[in-house]
Amino acid sequence: MDAKKQVVFIMTDTTRFDMVGCYGFPDMKTPNIDALAAEGVRFEKAYSCQPVCGPARSAIFTGLFPHSNASISNCMPLGADVKTAGEYVQEAGIHSAYIGKWHLDGGDYFGNGVCPRGYDPDYWYDMRCYLDELSEHERVYSRKESASLDGIDEKFTFAHRCTDKALDFLEKHQNTDFFLTVSFDEPHQPYLCPEPYASMYKDYEMPKKPNFYDTLEGKPEYQKLWAQEHLYEDKKNVHIRPRLFLGCNSFADYEIGRLTEAIKKYAPDAMIIFTSDHGEALGAHSLTMKGASVYEEITHIPLIIKGGAYCPSPQGAMHQSVTSHIDITPTILDYFGCEIPPVLQGKSMRPVIENPGSAFRDTVFIEFHRYEVDHDGFGGIQFMRAAVTDTHKLAIHLLENTDELYDTVNDPDEMKNLIYDSASETVRDELHRRIVDFMNDTRDPYRGYQWKVRSWNKDKEKPDWDVDACTRQRPNGTGEKRQLDYDTGLEISEFVRHKRKIKKLAGQT
């Protein structure tokens, strides 16, 4: 009997790469995630597409960058014509279920409790569903960090209830092809976790890396505004003791352990994918939380994949080059044998899952627009486009006078901005070209000459109204109605074409 095609996608919220033991941080107690890495492939340099909850998830589940799927900020829903991985595989006859935090329906933080297209409503369980189970008193209590210090029962937590639902799904659907997502809110604040996790890091102090002392000299103005009073505090007397945050991270690992044990029992041939949406500054570069940044603490996240029966992976392997969340949906579609629509902006990771030493990407891209529609804080609009390679990072901040370039080999703490460094011009200009090409290739609605003409290259680039002088229309996939050419009314033969052709058709010179 052939093995079933089954994928379990597991996600946490706000687990940065150095909060997982197997990434080289033994102080972090994550034995179950570490065990998963020992059975599959650990991606050493995986990055979020936009380091804030909703947009990060939008890229993961659609295979489109936020600028293409419309969820460019928290509380902004996906575009009406945008499909998620669940919809694609459901159309191919795969049973798809989503349990946990969604954050893509345009509602507030908790969601609206309504199952979206592509998923089994019997298992739909977002944070609104969780809160609807609680009394008013319990709802308020569930939002207080003090609940963990009171000795909260694990059965009260969102994570535990999500796992319970997932265990039920695995047992009842073990003999079917399925795509199951389990999306924990933990370890996101308010850091609800029972003992022994609430006390696990009681006396632990995180070490201060050199970037904890960053004064942000030569860096964008918005970072100094973001740092606020932290930029001026006496760092020698500041201690990083995120007791409940780290405790909740280990509690999430415990719940993942409950889940992986059930997968071994009911779906031993399944592919398992684990990641998190983004990181958390925790004082690095004098910053808190996350935002329009390429800093490691904010954008670098864990990604572990244990290949299934239809895409076997070696055990305990590593892929050491840059990878991106944008490739997760194409990988899932490939595993189920679904066609990967040409509109998707990632590609299947199958080759590198099966052979982690092979080349896959030399550059990944990160963007930012705003933190949240509902909040007027967090800096408001911050348009950023960035390119990340194994050796460098270039971030362009459209509304700032200063962009950023870091040599991550010689300056792993990202302290020295090399944007005006003459010795770095070659790599800077090459990454700049890649960003502009990326914006064009993905039909970025915010592209324009402003991204090309920066204070550090005005002698090389001049403003041009025609910009790249191309028309770029959305590519069609199988089963979609073919788009028509604006200039002829006929079906498109070229999705990308130079405007000179259009002028010639119109009889212009």
Q: Which residues are catalytic?
A: 53, 103
The torsion of the CA quartet 44, 319, 252, 112, rounded to 10 degrees, works out to: 90
Per DSSP, the three-state class of 451 is helix
| CB-CB contact of 438 with 306 (8 Å) | no
Sign, CA torsion 454/458/464/467: negative
User: Can you tell me the distance from the alpha carbon of 168 to that of 375, in angstroms, rounded to the nearest whole number?
Assistant: 37
Helix 328-335 to helix 53-62 angle, to the nearest 10 degrees?
30
Q: What tokens appear for 350 in the block? A: 């199958």
Residue 509: exposure state from Cβ atoms within 10 A (0-12, 13-18, ≥19) = exposed
Q: What is the dihedral of CA 290, 291, 296, 300, to 10 degrees?
A: 80
Tokens of 408: 């991550």
Question: Quick one: CA torsion of 308, 309, 312, 317, rounded to 10 degrees?
Answer: 40
Rg (CA), the chain: 23
Task: Name the nearest CA neighbour of 150 among 102, 86, 193, 112.
Answer: 193
SS3 223: helix
3-state secondary structure of 306: strand
The rounded distance, in Å, linking the Cα atoms of 97 and 508 is 54
Beta-strand relationship, 470-472 and 496-498: antiparallel
Tell me the two tokens of residue 435. 């960003």
What are phi and psi for residue 147, nearest 5 degrees? -60, -35
How far is Cα 80 from Cα 42, in angstroms, rounded to an integer? 35
Query: Running DSSP on this structure, what letter comes out for residue 426?
Result: H
- Reading the block at residue 456, the tokens are 């550090």
* 396 touches 462 (CB < 8 A): no
DSSP string, 494-508: -SEEEHHHHHHHTT-
Residue 12 phi, psi (nearest 5)? -110, 175
- Around Cβ 170, how many Cβ atoms within 10 Å? 22
Nearest to 40 by CA among 336, 326, 273: 273
HSE-CB for 44 with a 13 A CA cutoff: 11
Can you read off the two tokens belonging to residue 122? 């019997």
**Quick check: bond before 26 cis, omega within 30?**
no
